[in-house]
Amino acid sequence: MNLRAEQLATQLKKGLAPVYLISGDEPLQQGEACDAIRRAAREQGFGERQVMHVEAGFDWNALLAEANALSLFAEQKLIELRIPNGKPGTEGSKALLAYLERPPEDTVLLIISGKLDKKAQQVKWYKAVERAGVTVQVWPVDAQQMPGWIEQRLRARGLQPEPGAATLLAERVEGNLLAAAQEVEKLVLSCDGDALSVEQVEEAVANSARFDVFGLVDTALLGDVPHLMRMFDGLRAEGVEPLGVQWVLAREIRSLAEMAAQMQAGAPMDRVMARVWGKRKGPVRAALQRHNAARWQQLLRRAARVERLAKGAPGNAWDELLQLCLLMAGVPLFRPVAVV
């Protein structure tokens, strides 16, 4: 079954499917879809959650072993299988087909993948997921769609925007969905009633903190460490959720990893950066000159660790976020000690 993101909530109310595939390169919508599945799984008694990251050397037998393993803590479990590039390879395809032939009754498999093109959607394992469960492709919201997307989100949170309010907010966030979602939450907290005027949006935008997540990202890319530290401390002091910061950082790192890989394959930097917003070309260029493709992949794995911490794994998510930002900026965290 192939659903749009907005149809997922209705499907989840009818009961959990054995397998879900959430694919795309827009982190906010993908994250919210996955959170909805996790929440539904918890509510329906799937108390255990196992996360598996498909990287180089990943043992696909581990998926089948985990699916067949008896849990010591819960009768039902959710397995999250994260495939960033959407390509499980030959062994992975065989393992997924074997799993989907007879999905365990006490297990829900959530596959989280990068964007899958038309060709990728024709392969056997993808078709098997469609037959056995639910696929959701997350699409970016373009500039023309953004005001409508923001208005729908405002209304879902109980606000009634007057004409022009959503358009003004769309201009402020410049196409970034996470920024839009954050601004909507600020407006929900600041509005006394349910009516939302253009003047209220203007005031909220004018009074919004200068230490925003997107500025933090660009500052890290530029390598401006003193400014980076001030912005980081500002975000933390404002009570910003670390998971929100992680989403933005992970999205940027994933994009830079793809661009760096294209450059490594011989593509010129200017062509690789063709879709970068004009004012962001400077920070992105500096970052691509600082780290190669392999290094960006390493940073992407660190971002995945931050996500686990932000969602409850043992450790300090803010400390790991700071280290990730400093590494992006080119700061070596550990200096080699000279041996005398």
- In DSSP notation, 74-112 reads -S-EEEEEEETTS--HHHHHHHHHHHHHS--TTEEEEEE
Q: Is the pLDDT of residue 210 over 50?
A: no
Q: How far from 180 is each of 20, 177, 254, 256, 291, CA to CA, in Å?
A: 27, 5, 20, 22, 29
pLDDT band of residue 70 (cuts 50, 70, 90) is low
Short-list 104, 91, 103, 105, CA closest to 131: 103
Instruction: Return residue ranges of the chain for CATH 1.10.8.60.
Output: 146-207
Predicted local distance difference test score (pLDDT) of residue 207: 46
The number of C-alpha atoms within 13 Å of 327 and in the hemisphere containing its C-beta is 20
Does the structure show a pLDDT above 50 at 111? yes
CATH number of 213-328: 1.20.272.10
Average pLDDT in the 253-278 region?
86
- 83 Cβ neighbours under 8 A, 6+ residues apart: 54, 92, 111, 112, 113, 114
Q: Stretch 285-313: mean pLDDT, rounded?
A: 93
Lowest-confidence region among 171-185, 196-210, 217-231, 311-325: 196-210
Residues 30-39 have pLDDT tens digits of 888 999 999 9
Where residue 29 falls among pLDDT bands split at 50, 70, 90? confident
Using a 10 angstrom Cβ sphere, with 0-12 exposed, 13-18 middle and 19 or more buried, the burial of residue 118 is exposed
Residues 167, 199 contacting (CB under 8 angstroms): no
Which CATH entry fits the domain spanning 146-207: 3.40.50.300, 1.10.8.60, 3.40.640.10, 3.90.226.10?
A: 1.10.8.60
In 3D, which of 169, 173, 91 has the Cα closest to residue 125? 91
User: Where are the domain boundaries for CATH 1.20.272.10 in the chain?
Assistant: 213-328
**What pLDDT score was predicted for residue 336?**
46
- The residue among 103, 50, 106, 54 whose CA lies nearest residue 76 is 106
CA distances from 145 to 9, 21, 328 (A): 21, 24, 32
Confidence at residue 335, expressed as pLDDT on a 0 to 100 scale: 52
pLDDT of residue 323: 94
Distances, alpha carbon 132 to alpha carbons 6, 76, 266, in Å: 20, 18, 41
More confident: 134 or 336: 134
Radius of gyration of the chain (CA): 21
Average pLDDT over residues 144-158: 86
List, in sequence order, every residue forming a beta bridge with 113; answer none if it has no partner. Answer: 23, 83
Smallest Cα–Cα separation from 38: which of 53, 16, 55? 16
**Arithmetic mean of pLDDT, 155-168:** 84
- Tell me the mean pLDDT in the region 81-107: 87
Residue 215 has pLDDT above 80, yes or no: yes
CATH architecture label of 2-138: 3-Layer(aba) Sandwich (3.40)
pLDDT given for residue 73 in this prediction: 54
| Mean pLDDT across 93-117 | 88
Query: What is the residue-averaged pLDDT of the chain?
Result: 85
Contact (Cβ atoms closer than 8 angstroms) between residue 180 and residue 149: yes
